[in-house]
Structure 1
Amino acid sequence: MPLLVAKSRWHHAALSARLVPNAGVLESLPMTPADLATLIRGTAATVLSQHDLDSSVLPETVVVERPRNPEHGDYATNLALQVAKKVGTNPRELATWLAEALGADEAIDSAEVAGPGFLNIRLAAAAQGGIVSNILDQAECYGANKEYVGKRINLEFVSANPTGPIHLGGTRWAAVGDALGRILKFSGAAVTREYYFNDHGTQIDRFVNSLLAAARKQPTPEDGYGGAYIQDIATKVLEREPQVLELSDEAEIRETFRRIGVDLMFTHIKESLHEFGTDFDVYFHENSLFESGAVERAVDTLKNNGNLYEADGAWWLKSTNFGDDKDRVVIKSDGHAAYIAGDIAYLVDKFERGHDLCIYMLGADHHGYIARLKAAAAALGYDPEAVEVLIGQMVNLVRDGQAVRMSKRAGTIITLDDLVEAIGVDGARYALIRSSADSSLDIDLGLWASQSSDNPVYYVQYGHARLCSIARKAAEFGVSIENADLALLTHDREGDLIRTLGEFPAVVKAAATLREPHRVARYAEGLAGTFHRFYDSCQILPKQGEDTTALHSARLALATATRQTLANALGLLGVHAPERM
């Protein structure tokens, strides 16, 4: 898979600038995959111009890949194969010109032509050492980018009805949405994490009916909610208002159960999410849209701009004019607002608060919302591309090869609390994040509760803990990274680890632009594996009685950079980076 994309502008002066490293680490020229792609494109532009060939044919992006066989070099590119025919030359000839020009750069150890015109590149040791120096210098900021600087993003996720505990689908979004928010912020965005509190409509009516039935010791209504939590909440309502069932006004009884019951349920939801490591900047109440007149104002806007029409006694949005498969009823023939009316008013509110991009993270049964929300935005005069809808698929729990189907507290669903109780917060978050959210997911509870290398989160966290142990032992031995000569890092395992570290910024950027936090999780696993192989092959600290050498200091610097990068990756996932295990 391509490691990065380099933009067309080339600033060789920036690449040639020496890093002023932290803590006295040897100055060296950093050459991350992004830097290399930029260097290749710039060199190609120069070479083509020198041969009176058209450099405008160069692709806007240059792809750099890690060869499957390490013996072929550190990186490879097929740029010569891409453009040779367009400029009227032979691919191998163009690759040869590029190899000669790149080989003259101090960051390149060698550039060799292979096959019909591939270019295999090895980096100079100092250039690879510069990656380590960069990480030590940037510390917790390593991997950050400026892709979304100046962008205000509203990220709405979970938004489960306050009629029961968070189920597994909502739990998946709690983990993935929180990680995406962290990654977007790391990429420069101003992110508002928002929970849409559905406290208006028939779902709340069914919830209240269920509470009343439990309080009156009656069977659960046919369309009601079951589970022990309903009885718990009904009991607490009665504890707060002991005389409520004796009131003569049924409407007042219902309102009391609604007000207290919904508050108790939502408080539980907030507490569960907080313990899960997911907090929100805004809890937006759906009911406020109706109480404030926001729905009426949005409807009037659509009537006035001609995108709402009346038919069969109802008011319809001309959503087919904006890509939807059918027009949508906004105000029903009985005069009541349809569900989409609240969605429209809420969309207006988001944009009026100054957000440039509104991302909705919805469940598997919400595919129809993609077209209707974009159509609503366009009908209101907003850019439909400023509305994104991400759809998450179902999650299933498995234990001993059998599906786990019943919650202890919720009755018919598995909840966030159930999952955390089974495998812990870190295990639950990592398990939910590490796979693409648009695919269904099976979580093996036995695997994720185990303390073994088969458990991905344990494997990554153990790598960080091992690195922390190395740092403690280095302090005891008096080994320091100050003035470390990073050009000494020439072992194959050292090179593998350094190049993997250099890929982190591109991984973060891709995770942000593609809205795919699982890329960071998979990267962390790959980095942990590469580190463990380095640890098995390269002695980092001196053995008892040995003198400390410059190589020990250099390897300790590499280990320190690895620890920092693993911590940064885990931090973006909202997963702890333990110092001991």
Structure 2
Amino acid sequence: MPQLNLILVNPADLSSALLTVVTSISASRGGTRELTIDDLLLERPRNRDHGDWASNIAMKLAKPLGANPRELADEIAVEAAKLPGVASVDVAGPGFINITLDAAAAGALARTIVEQADAYGRGDLYSGVTINLEFVSANPTGPIHIGGVRWAAVGDSLARIFESQGGLVTREYYFNDHGAQIDRFARSLLASFLGEPAPEDGYGGAYISDIAARVIALYPGTLETISRDEQQEVFRSVGVELMFGDIKASLHEFGVKFDVYFHENELHESGDVEKAITRLGDLGAIYEADGATWFRSTDYDDDKDRVVIKSDGEAGYISGDLAYYLNKRERGFERNIIMLGADHHGYVKRLMAMTKAFGDEPFVNLEVLIGQMVNLVRDGEPMRMSKRAGTVVTLEDLVEAVGVDAGRYALVRSSIDSQVDIDLDLWGRKTNDNPVFYVQYAHARTNSVARNAAVSGVDRGVFDAGLLSHETESILLGVLAEFPRVVRQAAELREPHRIARYTEELAGAYHRWYDACRVTPLSNDEVTDLHRTRLWLNDAVGQVLRNGLGLLGVSAPERM
């Protein structure tokens, strides 16, 4: 077996060393398949008595090698036990390999984290990949409702996570300023100006009166002198711009900034729609029937063909999707991710048919993430109305009730596949049963410990990893080691809630360690290397909590 002069500081180091062992054994048994790190699937055992890391690689390789999985696991275990930093390797059941690191190898991670700082947890999963992430994209006809707010939190977190994995991310907002909803919005503003009831299909709420008053203030004494059609056009152009300005301001206050605001009107005015239809025509995916132009989407696994130009010459709904997707691809985006609400589930087939028709790979060049509903709950009852919007609960309602940090964390903490009820009473509390407070308090505590250590003369001048041998330290180091894997999985699976749940696990492990181990000596005791080494561990936890919260767009307070 090759000699490996490694210090097994983290899972990546251990995986690389173990891969060399397994590759050598596989080759000696006639194996020809090239193995990768992913084949090892190193995981933290649920039961800490089973060691620090476990792998089922022997069971995966046994059949192709024609070997008994238990015997193969025993052979791997003998060689893995020789790796530097490994205290013991045991085989369990039909061939699970359980690895226990010695204290020095496990403890060395604390120093690595402090030295890597913000870089700890970063990876190269999407190194150099151009990603267009389109989210929120609420119509500029009213404040952002709570469903759109979920996408604001999740989308911005995903962008941060992709960037941590080397992705070149563009955050994009699709500004829907073309269509019937803009007409209804303009008529609603005009009705407010004229003192008329809101149109039957229009928009209500105090915000309509607010926007109308702001438009009127921009044209003092002028609107009364022009025709009703001209008035409506003023309210359309100026009112939409004011409403969208309010949306941008709300998102900015929520910590969400977009790189591109793309106007739907541009697609129709620039000729992009015609270009997309022509492209599909050249590919044989367009035909004429009943006076209309159709996309032959059933050839690409859609359930029916789609009208792209209606018989009256107006563009069909999907025409904008065709043009917008082609526009993104021509801007150089390899991966295009769109976030939509549960009511858009039926759009996925047609969008994937479009992707395939253009010669791209569905679910790779284009992905659609579908999110479920969000309810705000107060006093055990769902909130149904907004003071400002009148009909829907908005971003402002959430922030007013619990603040930006709690709002973002609450929206990101659950899988987008699940409907979420956000208890405003719970998320507004400054107690440990509020998950975001619990995590932020752990971070503030690491800072408090560091400040007290400085007063007591404890610094990071010495680091002796072998001293971190307390049971709570072993558990805490194990959780810290998981962070890079959790971030990678969150990126790969599009699941930022994994990071939120991880920070809660880390906070819990830290609080238990804090209760059991001292960083600062008692008043009459001397400062020892154990105190100094534990300060490294304390600061490593603070760093990882900052890194995790940062990926969620949530602050990490130094004092609470």
Q: TM bucket by the smaller chain?
A: over 0.9
State whether residues 131 and 502 of structure 1, in contact with CA within 8 Å, keep that contact through their aligned partners in structure 2.
yes
Distance 2:93 2:268 in 1: 68
Aligned pairs for 1:551-570 (under 5 A) are 551-570=530-549
Distance 1:257 1:58 in 2: 64
**1:102 alignment partner in structure 2:** 80
State whether residues 396 and 442 of structure 1, in contact with CA within 8 Å, keep that contact through their aligned partners in structure 2.
yes
Distance 1:378 1:71 in 2: 50
**1:573 alignment partner in structure 2:** 552
Whether 1:156 aligns to 2:134 is: yes
State whether residues 106 and 124 of structure 1, in contact with CA within 8 Å, keep that contact through their aligned partners in structure 2.
no
**2:458 alignment partner in structure 1:** 479
**1:368 alignment partner in structure 2:** 346
Distance 1:232 1:58 in 2: 63
**2:239 alignment partner in structure 1:** 261
**2:422 alignment partner in structure 1:** 443
Q: Deviations over 1:68-119 (max 9, x none)?
A: 3222222222333333354344333322222211111112011122334332
Distance 2:511 2:415 in 1: 26
From the superposition, tell whether residues 16 and 281 of structure 1 become closer, same or farther in structure 2 (CA, over 3 Å): farther
**1:61 alignment partner in structure 2:** 39
Q: Deviations over 1:457-502 (max 9, x none)?
A: 0000000000010111111122111231112111111111111111
Distance 1:58 1:322 in 2: 35
State whether residues 168 and 415 of structure 1, in contact with CA within 8 Å, keep that contact through their aligned partners in structure 2.
yes
From the superposition, tell whether residues 378 and 246 of structure 1 become closer, same or farther in structure 2 (CA, over 3 Å): same
**1:354 alignment partner in structure 2:** 332
Q: Which amino acid aligns with 2:158?
A: L
Distance 1:148 1:510 in 2: 12
Of 516, 523, 538, the match for 2:517: 538
Higher mean C-alpha displacement, 173-182 vs 37-46: 37-46
**2:291 alignment partner in structure 1:** 313
**2:69 alignment partner in structure 1:** 91
Q: Which amino acid aligns with 1:169?
A: G
Distance 1:117 1:375 in 2: 44
Aligned pairs for 1:213-232 (under 5 A) are 213-232=191-210
Whether 1:212 aligns to 2:212 is: no
Whether 1:461 aligns to 2:461 is: no
Q: Which amino acid aligns with 1:120?
A: N
Q: Secondary structure at the match of 2:343?
A: coil
**2:392 alignment partner in structure 1:** 413
Q: TM-score, structure 1 length as denominator?
A: 0.93
Q: TM-score, structure 2 length as denominator?
A: 0.96
Percentage identity across paired residues of the two chains: 56
Q: Give the Å deviation of 1:213.
A: 1.0
**1:303 alignment partner in structure 2:** 281
Q: Which amino acid aligns with 1:341?
A: S
Distance 2:25 2:73 in 1: 10
**1:279 alignment partner in structure 2:** 257
Q: Which amino acid aligns with 1:323?
A: D
State whether residues 157 and 496 of structure 2, in contact with CA within 8 Å, keep that contact through their aligned partners in structure 1.
yes
State whether residues 32 and 499 of structure 1, in contact with CA within 8 Å, keep that contact through their aligned partners in structure 2.
no
State whether residues 176 and 433 of structure 1, in contact with CA within 8 Å, keep that contact through their aligned partners in structure 2.
yes
User: Structure 2: where are the runs of 5+ without partners?
Assistant: none
Distance 1:413 1:254 in 2: 25
**1:23 alignment partner in structure 2:** none
From the superposition, tell whether residues 375 and 81 of structure 1 become closer, same or farther in structure 2 (CA, over 3 Å): closer
Distance 1:55 1:500 in 2: 35
Q: Which amino acid aligns with 1:130?
A: A
Distance 2:49 2:282 in 1: 68
Aligned pairs for 1:125-204 (under 5 A) are 125-204=103-182
Count of equivalent residues? 558
From the superposition, tell whether residues 158 and 92 of structure 1 become closer, same or farther in structure 2 (CA, over 3 Å): same
Q: Deviations over 1:201-234 (max 9, x none)?
A: 0010010111111111111111111100001111
Distance 1:41 1:280 in 2: 42
Distance 1:55 1:492 in 2: 42
Q: Give the Å deviation of 1:534.
A: 0.9
Whether 1:72 aligns to 2:72 is: no
Distance 2:195 2:152 in 1: 34
Whether 1:34 aligns to 2:12 is: yes
From the superposition, tell whether residues 30 and 113 of structure 1 become closer, same or farther in structure 2 (CA, over 3 Å): closer
Q: Which amino acid aligns with 1:379?
A: A
From the superposition, tell whether residues 100 and 303 of structure 1 become closer, same or farther in structure 2 (CA, over 3 Å): closer
State whether residues 393 and 437 of structure 1, in contact with CA within 8 Å, keep that contact through their aligned partners in structure 2.
yes
State whether residues 188 and 204 of structure 2, in contact with CA within 8 Å, keep that contact through their aligned partners in structure 1.
yes
Distance 1:137 1:57 in 2: 34
